[in-house]
């Protein structure tokens, strides 16, 4: 049963130099057509399930005008929401306004995720972003005032030439905002981004790791519940847990991905195709084996790990029957607490190594 839905709003007023998401320059003409097509896509594929989470991501959803947002929310009102449904929208400080926040709340929005990324002007310049720290503070306090206290702030680190001190200052600022959720990402230089093309180089692996450790220690009052996510109790991202628990979700919009009926699909990233209603681009039919792999890869991202009961219920076998994890357990790279198997936090930054070792030896039961 699908309980989650992702909506992609690809428009941005500015294109950040590191971004390889599916994005388009904002244009009124396209937004209108886009929303019409989005409506049609949702009508075609949504089967009326009651949803526990809705996530409006981008791009920059907050770049839409008030009228466009109204139109968006009215399209989305077809989606049935459970009583406790978490409705998140991503926003940028240079396009969000109090009015837009009000509108979002009126629609039923109860979580907002801000892309802050950095507080340093030299990095903002290189990222091709802008930020007014006072405006940030006023927006955050406004959200809290109106009861929209489920706020996430995104922080990016490991930017070329960035120092530990820089990261530390960013963290201090974010901590001063006193929000309940913080996501941190080490910059990935992706192909086809401006930064990559301009030949920027990653900072050293060791410095990256030191930054990560600094983050972990400065955010020690938060639960480090997933590799890149920190939150106060009760404010974990429900929507993202849908991904990390390998559960099904709809993905609507340009370039969006979804997971329905054992198929992982991706929508086209071409706006012209999308407007012609050629929605799905890639589909991966999952075998039981594939699903188990996803189960492992995704569940091991969080502190809760893989639930042994759940694994057995879904796949009718035990994890250790299909993967040889005995030496990982004895070496301490995996921990079995009787109910679940997880990666200890001190090895999270090496989790790919551990995942590869798990998936290396597959035994047919």
Partner 1 sequence: MKQENIRNFCIIAHIDHGKSTLADRILEKTGAISKRELKDQMLDSMDIERERGITIKLNAVQLLYHHQGEDYYLHLIDTPGHVDFSYEVSRSLAACEGSLLVVDAAQGVEAQTLANLYLALDNNLTVIPVVNKIDLPSADLDKVSTELENIGFSRDEIIYTSAKTGEGIDELLDAIIQRIPAPKGDVSAPLKALIFDSLFDSYRGVIISIRVMDGEIKVHDMMKMMETGATYEVVGLSIDTPKEKHITSLKAGEVGYVYASIKSISDVFVGDTITLENRPATDALPGYKPMKPMVYCGLYPIESNKFEDLREALEKLKLNDASLSFEPETSKALGFGFRCGFLGLLHMEIIEERIEREFGIDLIATSPSVVYEVVLTDGTTVMVDSPSKMPKRELISKTLEPYVKTSIFTPSDYIGPIMELCQDKRGTFLNMDYLDQTRVTIHYELPLSEIVYDFFDKLKSYTKGYASFDYELIGYKQSNLVKMDILLNGEIVDALSVIVHKDFAYNRGKVVVEKLKEIIPRQMFEVPIQAAIGTHVIARTDIKALRKNVLAKCYGGDVTRKKKLLEKQKEGKKRMKKIGSVEVPQEAFLSILATDK
Q: Please identify, using beta-carbon distances, which residue of 105 and 202 lies nearer to partner 1.
A: 202
Name which position in 21, 45, 142, 196 contacts partner 1 (CB under 8 A): 21
Whether the link from the prior residue into 34 is cis, omega within 30° of 0, is: no
261: contact with partner 1 by CB under 8 A: no
249: contact with partner 1 by CB under 8 A: yes
355: contact with partner 1 by CB under 8 A: yes
Name which position in 24, 293, 334, 341 contacts partner 1 (CB under 8 A): 293
| Radius of gyration of the chain measured on its C-alpha atoms | 21
240: contact with partner 1 by CB under 8 A: yes
Whether the link from the prior residue into 59 is cis, omega within 30° of 0, is: yes
284: contact with partner 1 by CB under 8 A: yes
Q: Please report how close the Cβ of residue 150 comes to partner 1 at its closest, in angstroms.
A: 17
Residues 99, 66: Cα–Cα separation, whole Å: 8
Residues 293, 133: Cα–Cα separation, whole Å: 43
Q: Please identify, using beta-carbon distances, which residue of 53 and 71 lies nearer to partner 1.
A: 53
Stretch of 30-38, 95-103, 290-298, 303-311 lying at the interface with partner 1 (CB under 8 A): 290-298
- Angstrom CA distances, 64 to 38, 68, 133, stand at 14, 6, 22
Name which position in 188, 198, 277, 285 contacts partner 1 (CB under 8 A): 188
58: contact with partner 1 by CB under 8 A: no
105: contact with partner 1 by CB under 8 A: no
- Angstrom CA distances, 77 to 74, 112, 153, 240, 280, stand at 5, 18, 26, 21, 23
Backbone angles phi, psi at 294, to 5 degrees: -60, -40
CB atoms within 10 A of CB 190: 12
Q: Please identify, using beta-carbon distances, which residue of 174 and 211 lies nearer to partner 1.
A: 211
Stretch of 34-42, 81-89, 142-150, 238-246 lying at the interface with partner 1 (CB under 8 A): 238-246
**In terms of Cα–Cα distance, which of 169, 176, 153, 162 is closest to 228?**
153
Give the total of residues touching partner 1 (CB under 8 A). Answer: 46
Residues 40, 28: Cα–Cα separation, whole Å: 19
Q: Where are the beta strands (DSSP E) in 146-201?
A: 151-157, 181-186
Tokens standing for residue 336: 């079995």
Name which position in 59, 61, 115, 251 contacts partner 1 (CB under 8 A): 251
**E strand or H helix that includes residue 113:** strand 111-117
353: contact with partner 1 by CB under 8 A: yes
323: contact with partner 1 by CB under 8 A: no
DSSP 209: H
196: contact with partner 1 by CB under 8 A: no
Name which position in 36, 198, 205, 262 contacts partner 1 (CB under 8 A): 205
Name which position in 134, 191, 337, 360 contacts partner 1 (CB under 8 A): 360
Name which position in 208, 223, 324, 336 contacts partner 1 (CB under 8 A): 208
CA 130 to chain centre: 22
Q: What residues line the site for partner 1 (CB under 8 A)? A: 6, 21-22, 55, 183, 185-186, 188, 205-206, 208-209, 212, 227-228, 240, 243-244, 249, 251, 255-259, 264, 266, 282, 284, 293-294, 297-298, 301, 333, 347-353, 355-356, 359-360
């Amino acid at each position: 049963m699908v309980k989650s839905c992702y909506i992609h709003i690809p428009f941005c007023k500015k294109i950040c130099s590191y971004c390889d998401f599916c994005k388009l320059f904002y244009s009124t003409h396209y937004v209108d057509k886009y929303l019409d097509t989005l409506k049609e896509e949702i009508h075609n594929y949504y089967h009326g399930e009651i949803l526990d989470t809705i996530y409006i991501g981008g791009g920059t959803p907050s770049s839409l005008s008030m009228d466009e947002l109204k139109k968006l929310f009215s399209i989305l009102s077809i989606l049935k929401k459970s009583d406790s449904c978490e409705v998140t929208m991503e926003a940028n400080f240079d396009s969000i306004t109090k009015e837009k926040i009000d509108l979002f709340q009126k629609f039923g929005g109860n979580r907002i995720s801000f892309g802050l990324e950095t507080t340093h002007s030299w990095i903002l310049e290189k990222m091709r972003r802008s930020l007014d720290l006072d405006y940030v503070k006023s927006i955050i306090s406004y959200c809290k005032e109106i009861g929209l206290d489920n706020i996430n702030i995104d922080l990016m680190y490991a930017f070329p030439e960035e120092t530990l001190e820089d990261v530390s200052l960013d963290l201090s600022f974010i901590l001063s905002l006193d929000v309940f959720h913080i996501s941190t990402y080490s910059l990935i230089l992706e192909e086809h981004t401006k930064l990559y093309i301009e030949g920027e180089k990653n900072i050293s692996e060791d410095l990256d790791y030191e930054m990560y450790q600094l983050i972990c220690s400065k955010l020690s009052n938060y639960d480090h519940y997933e590799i890149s996510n920190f939150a106060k109790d009760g404010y974990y991202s429900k929507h993202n847990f849908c991904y990390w628990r390998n559960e099904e979700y709809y993905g609507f919009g340009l370039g969006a991905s979804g997971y329905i009926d054992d198929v992982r699909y991706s929508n086209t990233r071409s706006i012209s195709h999308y407007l012609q209603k050629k929605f799905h681009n890639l589909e991966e039919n999952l075998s039981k084996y594939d699903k188990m792999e996803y189960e492992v890869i995704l569940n091991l991202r969080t502190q809760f790990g893989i639930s042994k009961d759940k694994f057995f219920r879904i796949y009718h076998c035990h994890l250790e029957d299909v993967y040889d994890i005995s030496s990982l357990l004895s070496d301490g790279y995996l921990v079995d607490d009787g109910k679940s198997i997880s990666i200890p936090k001190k090895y999270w930054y090496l989790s790919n190594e551990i995942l590869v070792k798990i998936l290396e030896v597959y035994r047919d039961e």
